[in-house]
Amino acid sequence: MHPALQGILTILVGVGGCVGYFYLSNQFLDKVLFPARGENAGRNINRANIVRPWLFLLPALLALGTYLAYPVVETLRLSLTERSTLPDGTTAYAWVGLDNYRQMLNQPKFWEALKNNAMWLAVVPALATGFGLLAAQLTDRLKWGNIAKSLIFMPMAISFVGAAVIFKLVYDMRPIEQEQIGILNALYLYFGGEAPIAWLTVPFWNNFFLMAVLVWIQTGFAMVILSAALRGIPEETIEAAIVDGANPFQVFFKIKVPQIKGTIMVVWTTITIVVLKVFDIVFAMTNGQWGTQVLANYMYDKLFRANDWGVGSASAMVIMLLVTPILVWNVRNARKEMK
Amino acid sequence: MDIAGQKSSLSWAVHISVLALVALWLFPTVGLLVSSFRTADQISTSGWWKAMFPSQQNLTLRADAPELQVQEGGLYVIEGRLFPPEKPAEISVWGISSRAINSYTAGDTAPLKKGGTITVQADGRYRMENTEPFSGRRGQRIFVTATTPPEFTLRNYQNVLFDPENAEGMAKAFINTLTVTIPATIIPIVIAAFAAYALAWMEFPGRALLIAVIVGLLVVPLQLALIPLLKLHNEIGIGKGYLGAWLAHTGFGLPLAIYLLRNYMVGLPRDIIENARVDGATEFQIFTKIILPLSFPALASFAIFQFLWTWNDLLVALVFLIDSTGDTTVMTKQIVELLGTRGGNWEILATSAFVSIAVPLMVFFAMQKYLVRGLLAGSVK
């Protein structure tokens, strides 16, 4: 069957199945199980209303359970086991305790990935939030501010892979006797550089050239959120400061920034999560060579190139561990807000 | 800007900084876009930023061979054009010796070494005259310094999209990406909408806990799900393929979908829903007739997110979709492959990348309003 046809069929089956399920299960509940008539009408309505939320939730809970909750537990289990193929062709999982973690901690590549991830965490959220805040403040009340914002926001729509290609062209290097077609090398030579540089292979600094890609993508996100927050600041506080003789910089740093601190934190943590999961950029641009490995790509390497599920799962758990503080913080904030 | 009058100098600084910021953010993409309209030769001989302007080049050209000469009265004449009419250029200076390529300006007449004269016009027309026949086998060499107008081509797109012979083409990957994206966008919306309604407007024990769990699942890294789900898919016989990818995208998109939609639905006016309940509408009717239409902005927001995310995804496709035959390859994967095998062929890379970027960009510019709204509602406050 042609995949496009299969796709349409899936939409029909998927959507039809869902709608049909919701409709029929509600009918069943109201007409057959607890009909709202006869001597028990009142009691039946109450009972139906106890059951109904779970009818509405069931498909979502099943999907969430299978595709997100179960994998967390299963990955934890796999990280504590060793997979092997028995002579009769079946796969067996043997409990090995913390062996996978020990093995992982002994690999220099893992430490390289961890160290690089730490650098990403220090640099990308800070720069993206900083640039986003700058762009939000500068475009605020500018006549063509909306156009400017939409252009800075645009990279959000571009895939990490697309961005990787875009920046590979920026970083391109040709031998010195040829004309440079990468703008970075062209500028570098124009401003007195001696020889063109293969930016992505320069140890240590190449990490920053990769980070630039993510900063480029995430700045727009930060800008949009912070721009809305800036608009939400009560006008009186700013006017009062200006009347008291504050200059624009004081207004920005002493009046505006403190009032949107909460939003800045949200933006910062959201980008932090993106950074922890960053995979495509490194995979497409360097594939972890020249000292640019990161955890997510390390994990992919272990899983699908080395075919080592144990260590792969262990490294996935490390990512989960790093995400957990933010997860807890988010949940706590959400609960506070609901009260 | 401020209520005080101290605008002008600062406001100029603001305009210029914003302009610089926008240029910095736009430049990389424009570079790739411009490159996708240039030939391989053009890309490798000059930077894309030079492509927008007429370029000055030193060219070595040849006049027609002596065998094409004609007799006009007592003169032997060779006449012709150095540039074909479809590729015009403007000559500033020229010469007939490699050691003096700029001896004459356009319109000058120069003596030829073997007798006779040559005149070259600015548009490349030339005329050689001699009282005796021109001899030799090859035409006279002419060195010109010419300004050629910017030149762009659509051939790259033709090759990448419409050439059925091209095994590295994007046509199939484009269809495959679309096949993954559309069901993976629609199905989670349906499932999430019902769940969000229950979480927003129905009372039941454990509701607060469920919402907290969903907020938590929002940030669970995809990486954790890869092995267990691949294992599960293999065990229940789905294996690698579209079905697996659709299911995976649905599962991974649900937390955000439920979160966004619930936040929106909670904000709908209570009166409408209570009145409908009093009037005897069933919950199912309230949901389909009142809540769904009112929630359109939130549904659109999520649909855009999910569309962009599934269209741009690489990891889920690599793990759950693309098998060893590669028949189901998507555009992101195809581009990564090209980066490996065609690292230097920018005309192919740039065009392929732009084919995949174009659709999200269109969606982005057409529906930016909803995207922004969704972002504002989706970031955990």
Asked whether residue B349 is assigned to any structural domain, the reply reads yes
Phi, psi dihedral angles at B98 (to 5 degrees): -65, -15
Number of A/B CB contacts below 8 angstroms equals: 341
Checking if the pLDDT of B6 tops 60, the result is no
Residue in B299, B222, B169 with CA at minimum distance from that of residue A274? B222
Which chain A residues touch B315 with a CB distance below 8 Å? Answer: 279-280, 300
**Residue B115 and residue B168 share a domain:** no
Task: Determine the 3-state secondary structure of B73 from DSSP.
Answer: coil
Is position A75 within any domain?
Answer: yes
Residue numbers of A between 17 and 76 with CB closer than 8 Å to B:
18-19, 22-23, 26, 30, 49-50, 52-54, 56-57, 59-61, 63-64, 66-72, 74-75
Assigned domain for B3 exists: no
pLDDT confidence of B1, banded at 50, 70, 90?
A: very low
Average pLDDT of the segment spanning B335-350: 83
Q: How far is B57 from chain A (nearest CA, A)?
A: 13
Asked if the structure places residue B350 within a domain, the reply is yes
Give the tokens for residue B85: 């009419």
User: Could you tell me if B271 and B126 lie in one domain?
Assistant: no
Q: Which residue has the higher pLDDT, A20 or B163?
A: A20
Amino acid at site B305? F
Q: Which of A64, A251, A283 is opposite residue B336, by nearest beta carbon?
A: A283
Is residue A286 located within the same domain as residue A321? yes
CA dist B233 and B227 (Å) reads 10
Contact B229 A63 (CB under 8 A): no
Q: How far is A155 from chain B (nearest CA, A)?
A: 8
pLDDT score, position A1:
64
Q: What is the pLDDT of residue B51?
A: 77
Strand pairing report for B55-62 and A91-95: unpaired
Is the pLDDT reported for residue A325 higher than 70? Answer: yes
Amino acid sitting at position B371: L
Are A147 and A67 members of one domain? no
* A242 falls within a domain: yes
pLDDT higher than 80, residue A3: no
Identify the weakest region by mean pLDDT among A24-33, A155-164, B245-254. Answer: A24-33
pLDDT of residue A128: 94
Highest-scoring range by mean pLDDT, B100-114, B126-140, B243-257: B243-257
Predicted confidence at residue B244, as pLDDT, reads 87
pLDDT bin (cut points 50, 70, 90) of residue B7 is low
What is the band of B381 on the pLDDT scale with cuts at 50, 70, 90? Answer: very low
Q: Tell me whether residue A89 is in a domain.
A: no
Report the alpha-carbon distance of residue A291 to residue A116 in Å, rounded: 8
Establish if A217 touches chain B: CB-CB under 8 angstroms. no
**B346: nearest CA partner in chain A:** A169
Which of B148, B168, B184 represents a domain boundary (last residue)? B148
Paired tokens of B374: 């969704």
Q: Quick check: helix, strand or coil at residue B279?
A: coil
Last residue of a domain, one of B83, B114, B148: B148
Q: Which residues contact B145 (CB under 8 A, 6 or more apart)?
A: B56, B57, B58, B59, B91, B92, B93, B94, B101, B102
DSSP label at residue B88: -
Residue A22 to residue A103: CA distance in whole angstroms:
49
Terminal-to-terminal C-alpha distance of chain B: 29
Residues across chain B = 381
Mean pLDDT calculated for residue range B317-341: 85
Say how many domains are in chain B.
3
Q: Does A278 touch chain B (CB under 8 A)?
A: no
> What CATH number is associated with residue A309?
1.10.3720.10
The arithmetic mean of pLDDT across residues B176-191, rounded, is 88
Closest Cβ–Cβ partner in B49, B178, B356 for A162: B356
Q: Do residue A56 and residue A154 come from a single domain?
A: no
% of chain A with per-residue pLDDT over 90 = 18
Co-location of A122 and A65 in the same domain: no
Mean pLDDT for all residues in chain B: 84
| CB atoms closer than 10 angstroms to residue A109 | 14
Q: Both tokens of residue B338? A: 């090209």
Q: In what order do the strands lie in the sheet with B109-111?
A: B70-72, B75-81, B125-130, B117-120, B109-111
**B262 plus B340 within the same structural domain:** yes
The mean pLDDT of A94-111, rounded to a whole number, is 86
Tell me the mean pLDDT in the region B339-367. 87
Q: What is the pLDDT of residues B203-247, one digit of tens each?
A: 888 888 899 899 888 888 888 888 889 888 888 888 888 888 888
Rounded distance between C-alpha atoms, residue A187 and residue B24, angstroms: 14
Which tens digits make up the pLDDT trace of A115-169? 999 999 999 999 999 999 999 988 888 888 888 988 999 998 999 999 999 998 8
Residue by residue, DSSP assigns B29-69 as: HHHHHHHTTS-HHHHHHS-GGGTTS-EEEEEEEEPPPGGG-
- Residue A210: what pLDDT? 92
Is B348 an interface residue toward A (CB < 8 Å)? no
Mean pLDDT computed over A254-262: 89
- Candidates A289, A318, A235, A276; CA nearest to A117 is A276
> φ, ψ for residue B18 (rounded to 5)?
-65, -40
pLDDT at B167 over 80: no
**Residue, of B233 and B151, whose pLDDT is higher:** B233
Residue A183 domain-assigned?
yes
B246 and B258 in one domain?
yes
The rounded percent of chain B whose pLDDT value lies above 70 is 97
The answer to whether A289 contacts chain B (CB < 8 Å) is no
Q: Are both A108 and A70 inside the same structural domain?
A: no
Side by side, the strands of the sheet bearing B141-148 are B55-62, B141-148, B90-95, B104-105
Q: Give pLDDT tens digits for B67-81.
A: 888 888 888 888 888
> Is residue A51 domain-resident?
yes
For B197-265, the DSSP string reads: HHHHH---TTHHHHHHHHHHHTT--GGGGHHHHHHHHHHTT--SSHHHHHHHHHHHHHHHHHHHHHHHH
Q: A42: domain range?
A: 3-79
DSSP letters of A11-40?
HHHHHHHHHHHHHHHHHIIIIIIS-S-STT
Residue B326, min C-alpha distance to chain A (Å): 13
Residues present in chain A in total: 339
Asked whether residue B244 falls in the same domain as residue B328, the answer is yes
Whole-number pLDDT of residue A131: 93
- Greater confidence, B169 or A72? A72
In a domain, B25, yes or no: yes
User: In B, which residues are within 8 Å of A263 by CB distance?
Assistant: 381
pLDDT at B2 over 60: no
Specify whether the CB–CB gap between A81 and A96 falls below 8 A.
yes
Nearest C-alpha in B relative to A327:
B216
b/e sequence B283-313, b meaning 16+ C-beta within 10 Å: bbebbbebbeebbeebbbbbbbbbbbbbbbb
CB contacts of B221 in chain A (<8 Å) are 273, 276-277, 296, 316, 319-320, 323
Residue B278 touches partner A, C-beta closer than 8 Å: no
Give yes or no: residues B212 and B243 share one domain.
yes
Mark yes or no for CB contact B223/A72 under 8 Å: no
| Structure confidence at residue B8 (pLDDT) | 65
- The sign one gets for the Cα dihedral A238, A243, A248, A251 is negative
pLDDT one-digit tens code per residue, A219-242: 999 998 899 888 888 889 888 988
pLDDT in tens, A111-130: 999 999 999 999 999 999 99
- List of chain A residues whose C-beta atoms are within 8 Å of the C-beta of residue B178: 4, 7
Do residues A128 and A271 both lie within one domain?
A: yes
Nearest CB to B22; choose among A148, A225, A317: A148
Do the beta carbons of residue B108 and residue B114 sit within 8 Å?
A: no
Asked whether residue A313 falls in the same domain as residue A171, the answer is: yes
**Residues A120, A43 share a domain:** no
**B117 close to B129: Cβ distance less than 8 angstroms:** yes
Contacts of B215 in chain A (CB under 8 A): 330-331, 334
From A62, A79, A96, give the residue that closes a domain. A79
Q: Which of B90, B119, B148 is the last residue of a domain?
A: B148
Any idea which residue has 């492509």 for tokens?
Answer: B51
Tens of pLDDT, residues B304-328? 989 999 999 998 998 888 887 877 8
Q: Tell me which residue of B346, B310, B364, B377 sits closest to B47, measured CA to CA.
A: B346
Indicate the burial class of A135 (C-beta count within 10 angstroms; 0-12, 13-18, 19 or more): buried
Q: Are residues B181 and B73 in the same domain?
A: no
Residues 189-248 of B with CB under 8 A from A: 190-192, 194-195, 197-199, 202-204, 207-208, 210-212, 214-229, 231-232, 242-243, 246-248
Asked whether residue B333 carries a pLDDT value surpassing 80, the answer given is yes
Q: Which two tokens stand for residue A310?
A: 């144990």
Element of type H or E holding B105: strand B104-105
- State the DSSP string of B164-205: TT-TT-SHHHHHHHHHHHHHHHHHHHHHHHHHHHHHHH---T
**Most A-contacting residue of B52, B224, B334, B376 (CB-CB within 10 A), to test interface:** B224
| Residue B40: domain span | 8-51
What does A80-111 look like in DSSP terms, one character per residue?
TEEEEE-TTS-EEEEE-TTHHHHHHHT-HHHH
State the distance between the two ends of chain A, measured CA to CA, in whole angstroms.
52
> Are B206 and B332 contained in the same domain?
yes
Q: How many structural domains are present in chain A?
A: 2
Inter-chain CB proximity B242 and A6 less than 8 Å: yes
Smallest CA-to-CA distance from A172 within B280, B204, B306, B47 is with: B47
Q: Is residue A91 part of a domain?
A: no
Confirm if B308 and B359 have CB atoms less than 8 A apart: no
Nearest to B182 among A7, A224, A335 (CB): A7
Q: What is the pLDDT of residue B379?
A: 65
> For residues A203 and A290, is the Cβ–Cβ distance under 8 A?
yes
Query: Are A181 and B44 spatial neighbours (Cβ–Cβ below 8 Å)?
Result: yes
Closest CA in chain B for residue A177: B45
Question: Nearest by CB to B195, which of A60, A139, A330?
Answer: A60
In this structure, the answer to whether residues A332 and A292 fall within a common structural domain is yes
Residue A314: inside a domain = yes
Name the nearest CA neighbour of B143 among B87, B103, B89: B103
**Cβ-Cβ contacts under 8 Å, B10 against chain A:** 248
Residues B60 and B45 in one domain: no
A266-280 in b/e form (b: 16+ CB < 10 A) is bbebbbbbbbbbbbb
Does one domain contain both A182 and A74?
Answer: no
Name the token pair of B98: 């490699």
In a domain, A10, yes or no: yes
Cα A30 versus chain centre, distance: 42
